[in-house]
Structures are given as structure tokens and as C-alpha cells.
Amino acid sequence: QTIRVASWLPPTNPMNAVVIPEWGKAISKATNGRLKVEIVYGMGHPKSMWNLVEDGIVDASYSYHGYVPGRFELPQVVEQPGLGTNAEAASYALWNTYQKYFAKSHEFDGLKLLALFTHGPGQIYSNFPIKDIKDLENKKIRIGGGVQSQLADRFHITPVGAPAPKVYEMMQQGVIDGAFLPVGEMKTLRLAEVTKDLTLFPNGLYMGSFSMFMNPDVFDDLSKQDQEAINKASGEVLSVLAGKAWDAGDVAGLQSAREAGVKIHVVKPNSTLAKEVNQRIDNVATEWVKGVDKKGFNGDAALSYLRETAMQYAAKHKE
Amino acid sequence: MLDSLIGFSILLLLILVFRVPIAFAMGLVGITGFAYLQGLGWDNVFDFRWTGPIALAANRIVDTSQEYSLSVIPLFILMGNFVTKANLSGELYRASNAFLGHRKGGLSMATIVACGGFSAICGSSLATSATMAKVAMPSMRKYGYQDGLASASIAAGSTLGILIPPSVILLIYGLLTETSIRELFAAGFLPGLLGILLYLAAVRYVVWRHPEYGPSAEKANFSERVAAMRNVWGVLLLFCIVMGGIYLGVFTPTEAAGIGAGGAFLIAVMRRSLSWSAFFHALIDTGRTTAMLFTVLIGALIFSDFITMAGLPDELLAFVKSLHLPPMGVILIIVGIYLVLGMVFESLSMILLTVPIFYPLVQSLGFDLVWFGIVVVVVTEISLITPPVGMNVFVLSAVLDNVKAGTIFKGITPFWCADMVRLGLIVFVSSIALVLPEILYR
Amino acid sequence: MSRSPYEWLTTAVNLHHGDLGLAKWLAFLLEAVSAVMLFALMVLTCSDVIGRYVFNNSINGTTELTELALGIIVFCQIPVVTLTGAHVVVDILDRVLPDWFATVCSFIMSLAIGIGCIFVADRIWFQALRSLRRGVVTEFLLIPVSYFVQFIAIMMYLTAAILIYKAITSLFCRKKEAA
Ligand code: NA
Ligand code: NA
């Protein structure tokens, strides 16, 4: 039997080159080849992926929570500025925090949640140098949604919402002056060709959360053994796998940005720019906590737990 | 392979024999085909779980009708309608006639160049055909051009923009194959130009065989030309702003379309040539054409979802591999497959469906992926005017009330042949595509 | 009638759809809404560009307003296009096939597609309620998307009704169409 996973990022993106194939290999091996995983492309806008899976059009998929404003508030726990780890540690922490604090939420109703993870630290791609925080004001910057809307507000930029695969076209045509993205997209979305400046903030400005999910009916129809195989390859394992792949993508992205001659500005932690930025984004997390509290969850506790878990994981896995 | 082939056959049967509107036919085959893949049979029609197939259609309908990048379609059509309703298009053609009318087929040639330029910037072949049909067709008729030649010039000319940069299709190809988009854009330029030249040659051929199809007028003298220009400079300026604005990155295609429509509206109002009734008619007409285009697009997307799920792309790859041909033979087979698919597919879905499957094979044979991208896009362009489902042709026959699709298809044959010549040249002389990127970037 | 203060309205309605009977009022209403939305979309896009270059301040949420407007423009018109039979068809074989065949086809296919549209409309309505329950809104203006999806569902129901109505009348009005 084949599990079809709908994908909306290019075939070279870590999701399609590493994460889904490795997940598939693990399942295939554990089921002696009874289950196979296959990627299908071109099924539409990333925001429809949740519907495609819930309605049984494809068996599984993954997507970015920011593309459906209002529906997935809780995973944004990982997006709040100031986390300071890589994607691998953050993804590990996100999965466990969600299980511990938000398991009762209805966000993933109608879906079997397979993984929760984040891409690498979000940075600023632009066609102008950023020396001062005022340089950003009134510039048209692409944002992906989620916590980035808050940042846009704090930086007084003109936000343009668009899914990542559209950024090349928009940069090239001058629709936007810059974009919030992790560094890996320099390579996978070929943005090194159209970006002049890349500003790297210490630990990045934000993280961006994804989930991977499956149709529960398809899952229930499988034999107990096969279900077990999927469960074993998913959850924490898959979340960490994905986070790791995004981290590796960032390394490759930075490399291709260098090769293409993109001007790379590394912002020092104690520079004026870093301080200004930190000041502006100081209480972004408070807003999120307020929203989550209103929904009846303990946002503060979840956020601290996530940060602690991520730090511990990062310390344990350093080299 | 069988599932897809049956799907194709039923679709053709519905469209050609049962005369079902294309959009509905594609949607119907897409939904039932998908249901069949999920286990629908004669015995379980009523207890089958229809949710999946129906939801597939529902999602495509909701998403496509609210897709930002498609908003260029109504806005550019609106621009064309304002230009026409204010009778500016008549003056445009009077001007072209003053400059080119003394040549046989001159207006057809002007139309091809205009359509090529317009579609190059607006990025949508469908929007270009719909817009230019309103602008060009009435005037060409007035000057005695035969319907087939006139409409075919518009339909063919509008396909050129897919290749001439900026091109969304090339961009998507670049992302799918990890090829430099910059190089792809550079590579598209000469083949696009070649396309225009060959189309012009096709017009020359038609008027050589049938001089009465594109009659020549008296040669206008200098003062007549100046007088003709005086009336149209406003509209020409608007076209320049719209085209230049996109090229220079001053605004996006959608914004350019909005500015184009707003500018045409202002020009018409200032010249007091737009009555209230004409104003409303332009708006309503635009909405209607837009709705027709969107229904067809949605239908095409549903149908191609079914084909994706039926696994056609993988099977095609297996088929090509099983033939054990020399490299060029493989390319020719792939081109052949594209031409066949082109009969029923819309350009974007064809690229999304097949490119991820074929490009690793092409790459492993040692071909340049930039060059292959240009080949694929040229074939895709051709598909827009290939019967039975030539999207540009349908748009034209839908917009022009009294021209039948059959007439346009007949008129388009020489242009289609010109395209095949171009395709052959690009396939066998790869430097036509590769010379510019090599000079600029390699 | 000719002295009615709304004469201009009747004239306007009859101008485009005089032959549609009572349905002309519905067609006119839908077209008017789509026309207004289209003009608003044009003005919005122009103001956004002008705002950006002249006042260095573009309108937040232009993208999402554009998307919502696009949906309204398209779905106001789809029932009208269906009513007037203006969908894109291939007419290559028209002259070869007999008249009775066309009538039978048109009956069966309109009915089948009309019924299909009801199911699709049902699903769209269901999805609208679902996303309403889940609180899906637009990014900047926080407009609940589901109301616009519900509008699309209603227009699909209307399209379905029109198709079924046309299927039934196609059986009785064969001569009239031929004339
Ligand atoms: Na173009
Ligand atoms: Na075609």
C-alpha cells in the first residue's frame, strides 16, 4: 500500500529530499515493504494541505501554520523570539511541549498529528543594507504569517503575506524589498540570485512552525503492526529528523549565498542594531501568552517549559 | 497508464461529441476518475464514500477563485474593455493601418507583435487573448481581414508571452529542477523573438496564398500618419507605462493591470468617449469573461489532480525508459508526449505534472536543463493552440460572439506549423537558447 | 409602466437580458454586484500603487481584499454565465451531429452536472462552517474567510438550480431554440 504525501515545496527542499524519504524508508523497513511512501506535487496552495488530508484527498502532508491565520495559535509557542537554539532542539521541544500542555486542544481535530517542527532561525533577506532599524521602516517585506506579523508591526514595515515559493518572483519583480525567511531558502528557492543583502541576527529573529499530519481513517484501516510502524517513525523522532534537515539546509543555504556574492551582514550580539531589535521585540511573547491564556491554556508555563527543554536538548547534543 | 487513458478518452468524448462545456467536462471526469481510483465501482455508487472526490473539487473551487496572482485576469481584461468601449482601439488600429496597412497582412503582423509584447508582460496568455480580442478583432474585420487569419493572429501571438521573460512558467520550472531562473529567463529571450519572426513569416505565407485574407490599403502619407498618431498617444503611453513598470519592477503584474485599467478609464473619461451604458457594459463584460476563464481553469485543475493521482507521470517515465533509445531519441519521445498531453492540458498543470518526473532522466543523459526548460515551455505554448483543447482558441471563440472555434483552429494551422519549425530548431540547435545565458552568466 | 420612476432600471435590465423573463432581475442584480466589486478592485489597486509612490505608505491587506473581491466577481457571474449558456464549448462537430442528439445530450448532461454541483456546493458550505468554527481569518484585517466561502456555496447552489431548470426546459423548448 502506498501512502501519498502531498508536497508544496520544491523537490530539492529538505522536506522532499530528506525528511519524507527517510520517514518513508523507516516505515517501509519496519513493515517489510508493505507500506510505501510517495510524494505528490502540485496539489495546490500550502494552506489547503490540512483540508486535503482531512477530506481524504491525499493520505498525508505537512504545512506551515502561519498560512492559516487564526487556526493554529498554540504551536506558535516555538516561534516567539528569544529561544536561541537551532531547529533540531526547538523541534524536539515543540513536540514535547505540545504533548504536555496542549494535547487537549482541538487544533488538529480530524487529523492524525505526525510531527511538529520548525525551520531554522528566521533572518532578513533584502535588496538594501540594514544598518539601522529605521532602514526597515515602510519597506515592503514578505512575511509568512504567525509571529512574523507581530514583528512586522514592531518594525513598522509594510507586510506582504505570501507563501515561500512565491518569493523569488516577488523579489525579482520588485514587489517586495525583502523577506523574512530562514537561510536555507537561499539555495532551495534560489533566492541567492535575487537577494542583495542577507542580515543574520544572533539566533535569528523568530522560528516558524510546521506540522506533519495524516488522515486518521487511512491510519485506522491499517493493521496493528503497520500502525505501530508508523507511530514509531513519527512523533518525536520525525520532529527531530525534520528540525535536523532544516538546520542542514541552512548550512547549504549560507554556502550558496556566499558563492552567489550576496552581501552577508552578521549582526554582533552587542551591536546597536541587535539592541534596538531586541527592544522592539521585547514583549512579543507576552501577546502570545495573553492569547493562549484566553483559550484556557497556561501559555507562560508552556513557553518556559519549551525554552528549558530546548536548551537542555541543545546542551546534551552539542558535538 | 490505462486509467489515465480512459480518463482522457471520456473527456474528449464529452467535450467533442456530447458538447459538454469544457469546464464541467473536466470537473466531472476529474471527480469520477478520482472516485474510481478510490474504489468506486458500478455496485457501490450509493454507499461509496464520496467525500474525498467532492472535497477535491470544493477545495479547487474555493482556492482558485481567491488566488491573488489570478487577479491580473479581470484587471487586464477590464483595461482592454475600456480601451474598446471608448473606441480607442479603433483609433489604435487606424494608426497601425497608417503605418503598416499598405503591406498585405500588415495589421495581422502588428497584432502578433502587440499580443507578444502584451502577453510577455502580463504573463497570462488567456488574459492577453481575451483583452486583445476586444481591441484587435473589430478593427481587423473593418479593414477586411478574414476571420480565421485575424483571430488566429491573436490566439497565436498571445502564446508568446509564456516564454518571453518575465515568465511565471519558467520560474516554476526553475524551482522544480533547481535550475538558475536568471539563466532560464535569458535563455527564453531569443526563442521568443524567433517565435515572433516565424509567426510573421506565417502571415506572409497566408497572404501570399490568399491575398484576399489580409488586404492591403493605400499607403498613407506623412501628415496622415501624424494625424493618426495624435489620437492614440495617450493609449500608447499607457501601454508603455504598464509594460515598462513591470520590467523595471515599479509594480507587480496585478498592480500594472490595475493601473492599466484605471488609466484607460481616465483617458476614456477625459475624452468624454465613455457613456454610462458603455461603462457598465465594460464592467459586466469583464466579469463574465473572467468567470468563464476561471471555470475552465478550475475544471483543468481538478482534472489534472486526477491524472496526478492516477500515477500517469511515473508510468510515462517507465515507458520512455523501456524504449532504450539514444539520448536524442529520448528527447524526441518526451517532446512527443508533451505534444499529446498538450491536446488536453492547460500549461501550468502540464509543467507541474511532468517536469519533476522527466528532468532527472534528461539530466542523466547529459542535456542542459536550461535548454530543456525552454523546449518544455515552447511545447507548452504550442499546447495552447493545439486542438481539440486549445485554451487560447476557446477564450477567443467565447469572447468573440460570432467566431467559431473551428474557424480559428483552421486559421491557426500555419501558425502551428511555424511553431513546429521553431521547436525543431530549438531542439536541434541548442545554442539558440543557450547563447544568451552563456554570454551573460556562465 | 413607461411612467414608472424606475423606468431607467427596467431599461437597463432589459438591455442585457430582456429575453430571460423574471430571471433577468436576478442576473442584473448579480452582474451589478460583480461590476461594483470589479470597479472597487481597480480603485483599490490604483490607490495602493499611488499610496506607495506618492505618500510612501501602501494599504495593508490589499492582497487579501483583492482575493476576496476576486471570489465575489467570479462567483456572481458564474450563475449568469450558466443561465445565458455562455460557457466555453467545442463546436467542431456541431454540423455533423443531428439535432435530437444534441437535445438529449444537453438534457442528460445538464441534469447530471446540476446534481453534481449540489453535492459540491454542500461540501463547500460544510467547509465554510468548519473554518468558521476553527476561527480562520485573514492575516492583516482579520476578516473571517468563511463568510466568503459561504457566498461561493450559495452561488454554486444557484448554478445547480439553473442547470437543472435548463435541463428540464430543454426538453420542452426544443423548437424555440432551433428557431
Ligand atoms: Na512573460
Ligand atoms: Na491544447
Q: Does A175 touch chain C (CB under 8 A)?
A: no
Residue C167 DSSP code: H
Give dist(CA B63, CA A98) in Å, integer: 30
Query: Which residues in B lie closer than 8 A to residue C11 (C-beta atoms)?
Result: none
Q: Does residue C158 belong to any structural domain of this protein? A: yes
Q: How many other β-carbons are positioned within 10 Å of the β-carbon of residue B193?
A: 15
Bridge partner residues of A64 (DSSP): A210
What's the mean pLDDT in B272-292? 87
The alpha-carbon gap from C51 to the nearest alpha carbon of chain B, in Å, equals 12
In angstroms, what is the span from residue B369 Cα to ligand 1's centroid? Answer: 19
Range of the domain at C128: 7-172
Interface residue A282 vs chain B (CB under 8 A): no
Burial class (CB in 10 A: 0-12, 13-18, 19+), C67: buried
Is residue C122 predicted with pLDDT exceeding 90?
A: yes
Q: Which residue has the cell 533509445?
A: B325
In this prediction, residue B210 has a pLDDT band, given cuts at 50, 70 and 90, of: confident
CB–CB contact B59 A190 (8 Å) = no
pLDDT over 70 (residue C14): no
Query: pLDDT by residue (tens digit) across C132-166?
Result: 998 888 878 889 999 999 999 999 999 999 999 98
pLDDT at B346: 66
**B14, B19, B250: residue with CB nearest C102:** B19
Peptide bond into B215 cis (omega under 30): no
Report yes or no on C178 lying in a domain.
Answer: no
Phi, then psi, of A39 in degrees rounded to 5: -95, 135
Q: Is A130 left (phi over 0), alpha (psi -120 to 50) or beta?
A: beta
Q: Which chains form contacts with chain C, at 3 or more CB pairs under 8 Å?
A: A, B
Long-range pairs, B340-344, Cβ under 8 A, ≥24: B341/B383, B342/B379, B342/B380, B342/B382, B342/B383, B342/B386, B343/B383, B343/B386, B343/B387, B343/B388, B343/B389, B344/B8, B344/B11, B344/B12, B344/B303, B344/B388, B344/B389
Least confident residue range of A178-182, A192-196, B3-7, C109-113:
B3-7
- C155 touching B, CB under 8 A? no
pLDDT category of residue C178 using cuts at 50, 70 and 90: very low
pLDDT of the residue at C20: 65
Judging contacts by C-beta atoms under 8 Å, the chain A residues touching residue B56 are 52, 55, 57
pLDDT tier, C6 (very low <50, low <70, confident <90, very high otherwise): low
Which of C64, C127, C139 to probe the A interface (max A CBs under 10 A)? C139
B437 falls in which pLDDT band (50, 70, 90)?
confident
Q: Which of A51, A107, A145 sits opposite C139 (nearest CB)?
A: A145
Instruction: Say if the Cβ atoms of A40 and B55 lie within 8 Å.
Output: no
Of B135-144, B242-251, B337-346, B394-403, the least confident: B242-251
C63 and A160 within 8 Å at the Cβ level: the answer is yes
Over range A26-30, report the average pLDDT. Answer: 95
User: If you measure from the C-alpha of residue B109 to the centroid of ligand 1, how many angstroms do you get, rounded to a whole number?
Assistant: 19
List, as ranges, residues with CB under 5 A of the ion ligand 2: B 342, 383, 386, 389-390
B98 within 8 A of C98, measured Cβ to Cβ: no
Q: Which residues are in the CB-under-5-Å shell of ion ligand 1?
A: B 120, 123, 161, 167
Nearest to A90 by CA among A234, A200, A247: A247
Q: Quick one: pLDDT band at residue C56, thresholds 50, 70, 90?
A: low
pLDDT at C160: 96
Ligand nearest to the CA of B189: 1
Name all contacts of C32-35 with Cβ < 8 Å and 24+ positions apart.
Answer: C33/C72, C33/C76, C34/B283, C34/B284, C34/B287, C34/C72, C34/C73, C34/C76, C34/C77, C35/B280, C35/B283, C35/B284, C35/B287
Contact B127, B76 (CB under 8 A): yes
Residue B392 has a pLDDT of 82
- Taking alpha carbons only, the member of B110, B156, B106 closest to residue B129 is B156
Residue A200 CB partners (closer than 8 Å, separation 6+): A123, A183, A264, A265, A266, A267
Does pLDDT of B246 surpass 90?
A: no
Fill in the amino acid letter for C15: L
CB contact under 8 A, C140 and A160: no
- The string of pLDDT tens digits covering residues B320-372 is 888 888 888 989 988 988 888 777 666 776 777 778 778 878 887 888 999 99
Whether residue C24 lies inside any domain: the answer is yes
pLDDT tens for each residue of B104-144: 888 888 888 888 877 776 667 777 788 788 778 888 888 88
The type of residue at B322 is: S
pLDDT reported for residue C9: 66
Q: Which residues pair with A31 in a beta bridge?
A: none
CA–CA gap between residue B178 and residue B174 (Å, rounded): 6
Cβ contacts (< 8 Å) between B283 and chain C: which residues? 34-35, 38-39
State the residue for C-alpha cell 454540423. C95
Q: Residue C92 has what pLDDT?
A: 65
C102 vs B178 pLDDT, higher one? C102
CA nearest C16 in B: which residue?
A: B281
Which chain A residues contact residue C137 at CB under 8 A?
69-70
Residue among A112, A147, A120 at smallest CA distance from A303: A147
User: Considering every ligand atom, which ligand is closest to the CA of B296?
Assistant: 2
Of A158 and C113, the one with more pLDDT: C113
Q: Do A185 and A35 form a contact (C-beta atoms < 8 A)?
A: no
Residue B220 DSSP label: P
Dihedral of alpha carbons B184, B185, B189, B192, sign: positive
Q: Give the nearest partner residue to A193 out of B38, B59, B182, using CB atoms.
A: B182
Inform me whether the pLDDT recorded for A314 exceeds 90: yes
A38 - beta bridge partners? A4
User: How many whole angstroms from B91 Cα to the centroid of ligand 1?
Assistant: 27
Mean pLDDT of A112-119: 96
Tell me the mean pLDDT in the region B69-74: 81
Q: Is B251 on the interface with C (CB under 8 A)?
A: yes
What chain C residue is nearest to A110 in terms of C-alpha separation?
C130
User: Cell 520517514 sits at which residue?
Assistant: A23
pLDDT category at C2 given cuts 50, 70, 90 is: very low
Please state, in angstroms and as integers, the Cα–Cα distance from residue B116 to each residue in A90, A172, B192, B380, following that order. Answer: 50, 21, 9, 16
Q: Is the dihedral of CA C80, C82, C85, C87 positive or negative?
A: positive
Q: How confident is the model at residue A123 (pLDDT cuts 50, 70, 90)?
A: very high
Chain A residues whose beta carbon lies within 8 Å of the beta carbon of residue C56: 138
Q: Distance from CA of residue B135 to its chain's centroid? A: 17
Nearest to A116 by CA among A87, A75, A79, A156: A75
The whole-chain average pLDDT of chain A stands at 91
Distance (angstroms) between ligand 2 centre and the Cα of A267 equals: 53
C140 interface with B at CB cutoff 8 Å = no
> Which pLDDT belongs to residue C179?
34
Q: Which long-range contacts (CB under 8 A, 24 or more apart) does A20-24 make?
A: A20/A62, A22/A241, A23/A233, A23/A234, A23/A238, A23/A241
- Residue B326 falls in which region: left (phi positive, over 0), alpha (psi -120 to 50) or beta: beta
**Percent of chain B whose pLDDT exceeds 90:** 19
Please give the residue that has the higher pLDDT: either B31 or C92.
B31
**pLDDT for res A124:** 95
Q: What are phi and psi of B54, to 5 degrees?
A: -65, -40
Q: Which of C13, C45, C110, C148 is the best substitution to test chain B (most B C-beta atoms within 10 A)?
A: C45
The ipTM of this complex is 0.87
CB contact under 8 A, A172 and B249: yes
Mean pLDDT of chain C: 83
The closest alpha carbon to A59, from A44, A72, A32, A40, belongs to A40
The pLDDT of residue A96 is above 90: yes
The residues pairing with A264 across neighbouring beta strands, listed in sequence order, are A198
Q: What is the mean pLDDT of residues B54-81?
A: 87
Q: Which one-letter amino acid corresponds to residue B252? A: T
Q: What is the C-alpha to C-alpha distance for residues C95 and C92, in angstroms, rounded to an integer?
A: 8
pLDDT at residue C175 tops 50: no
Maximum average pLDDT range among B4-13, B56-65, B268-277, B429-438: B56-65
Between CA C143 and CA C154 the distance in angstroms is 19
Interface test with A, best of B56, B251, B304, B349 (most A CBs within 10 A): B56
Residues in B touching A55 (Cβ below 8 Å)? 51-52, 55-56, 59
Task: Say if residue B211's pLDDT is above 90.
Answer: no
pLDDT band at residue C21, thresholds of 50, 70 and 90? low
C-alpha to C-alpha distance for A245 and C48, rounded to whole angstroms: 40
Q: Where are the beta strands (DSSP E) in chain C?
A: none
pLDDT digits (tens, 9 = 90+) for C40-50: 999 999 998 88
Size of interface A-B (CB pairs under 8 A): 88
Which pLDDT score is estimated for B174? 78
Say which residues have a Cβ less than 8 Å from residue B14's Cβ, sequence separation at least 6. Answer: B20, B25, B28, B29, C109
Which ligand lies nearest the alpha carbon of B419? 2
The fraction of chain A above a pLDDT of 70, given in percent, is 100
Centre of ligand 1 to C-alpha B163, Å, is 6
DSSP B105-141: THHHHHHHHHHHHHHHHH--HHHHHHHHHHHHHHHHH
| Mean pLDDT on A241-246 | 96
Residue C32 placed within a domain:
yes
Contacts of B353 in chain A (CB under 8 A): 42
Cα(A194)–Cα(A185) distance, integer angstroms: 12
For chain B, say whether A56 makes contact (Cβ under 8 Å): yes
Global pTM reads 0.84
Whether the per-residue pLDDT at C177 is higher than 60: the answer is no
Tell me the DSSP string of A205-253: SB--EEEEEE-HHHHHTS-HHHHHHHHHHSTHHHHHHHHHHHHHHHHHH
CA distance linking residue C48 with residue C57, whole number of Å: 8
Q: Which residues of B242-275 are buried (b: 16+ CB within 10 A; e: fewer)?
A: bbebbeeebbbbbbbbbbbbbbbbebbeeeeebe
| Residue B179 CA from chain centroid, whole number | 23
Chain B residues near residue C48 by CB distance under 8 angstroms: 255, 258
CA dist A206 and A148 (Å) reads 7
Give how many domains chain C has, as a whole number: 1
Give CA A262 to chain center in angstroms.
Answer: 23
Distance (Å, whole) CA B438 – CA B423: 20
Contact B235, B264 (CB under 8 A): yes
pLDDT value of position B5: 80
User: Cell 497572404 identifies what position?
Assistant: B207
Residue C109 C-alpha cell reads as: 448532461
A280-294, B34-48, B188-202, C161-175, range with the lowest pLDDT: C161-175
Which numbered ligand comes closest to the C-alpha of B253?
Answer: 1
In whole angstroms, what is the distance from residue A117 CA to residue A93 CA? 9
CA of A129 to nearest chain C CA: how many angstroms apart? 19
Q: Is B205 touching C (CB cutoff 8 A)? A: no
Q: In the prediction, which pLDDT does C7 show?
A: 67
Facing A44 at nearest CB: one of B63, B166, B248? B63
A162 touches C: beta carbon within 8 Å: yes
DSSP state of A3: E
| The C-alpha cell that represents B32 in the structure block | 469520477
Q: At what angle do helices A284-294 and A299-316 cross, to 10 degrees?
A: 120
* Lowest-confidence pick of A108-122, A218-232, B301-315, C158-172: B301-315
Cross-chain Cβ contact C120/B295 below 8 Å: no
The per-residue pLDDT for B121 is 63
Cβ atoms within 10 Å, residue A124 = 26
Nearest bound ligand to CA B163?
A: 1
* Mean pLDDT of all residues belonging to chain B: 83
Choice between B1 and C61, residue whose per-residue pLDDT is larger: C61
Confidence of residue B247 (pLDDT cuts 50, 70, 90): low
For CA atoms A111, A115, A121, A125, the dihedral sign is negative
